[in-house]
């Protein structure tokens, strides 16, 4: 009789341990899903920030290229008449003013 009671107590302990292990296993995927969701949201925010930053940089580059082109259009005619500039420098300045040149190097949108 004593032996049967000991076996029943051991069986109850085993059942309780199995039930606790089962509950723990059910919680684990939920915790992992929450962790992955957090990482995914963080990734999305960083990706959005990088994309916006890239767009701002492209706009700034385009703006600076346009300013450089306008500067050359305004001041190049006066500068090319100066005898201080060599023919090579004048040719280089004319090339830089050409919008096709600026587009080819990614300064202006195509």
pLDDT in tens, 50-99: 999 999 999 999 999 888 888 877 776 665 555 555 666 666 666 665 65
CB 79 within 8 A of CB 85: yes
- pLDDT band at 108, cuts 50/70/90? very low
Contacts of 95 (CB under 8 A, 6+ apart): 101
> What is the residue whose two structure tokens read 């001041």?
75
Contacts of 97 (CB under 8 A, 6+ apart): 69, 72, 73, 76
CB 100 within 8 A of CB 69: no
Strands of the chain, DSSP E: none
């Amino acid at each position: 009789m004593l032996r049967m009671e000991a076996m029943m107590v051991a069986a109850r302990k085993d059942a309780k341990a199995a039930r606790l292990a089962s509950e723990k296993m059910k919680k684990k995927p939920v915790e992992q899903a929450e962790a992955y969701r957090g990482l995914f949201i963080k990734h999305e925010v960083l990706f959005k920030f990088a994309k916006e930053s890239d767009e701002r940089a492209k706009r700034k580059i385009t703006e600076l290229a346009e300013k450089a082109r306008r500067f050359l259009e305004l001041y190049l005619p006066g500068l090319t008449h100066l005898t201080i500039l060599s023919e090579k420098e004048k040719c280089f300045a004319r090339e830089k003013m050409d919008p096709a040149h600026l587009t080819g190097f990614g300064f202006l949108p195509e």
